[in-house]
Amino acid sequence: MQVTATQAKNRFGAICAQAKTKPVFVEKDGRIDTVIVSAEQFEALQTAAQSKTLVQRKAQFEKTHRVWIAEQNARFQAHGLWCDDLRVW
């Protein structure tokens, strides 16, 4: 649904009810300025953005610490875990 800013202001309650089922695009000066979405849709968008951020952060960490990670992996391959020799009493 697409409405003008004036219509959104004058019919805010109805626009909010409509936004619960599908996004409402608010037009200002002949172009889309704002989108009104339900709280559930907003949370889904935030969750998607955060998970993307975590993937990006992981990629950045692996790129930055590539040499250290390679050293640790080589050490593990050569010696195993430090706790492999521990015994339960």
User: Tell me, what's the pLDDT at 62?
Assistant: 94
User: Tell me, what's the pLDDT at 29?
Assistant: 92
Strands 31-36 and 2-4: unpaired
Q: Are the beta carbons of 61 and 43 closer than 8 angstroms?
A: no
- Closest by CA to 34, choosing from 21, 25, 42, 43, is 25
For 59-84, what is each residue's pLDDT tens digit? 999 999 999 999 999 999 998 888 87
d(CA 75, CA 42): 45
For 29-55, what is each residue's pLDDT tens digit? 999 999 999 999 999 999 888 877 788
> Which tops the pLDDT comparison, 12 or 87?
12
Structural domain spans, the chain = 2-37, 41-79
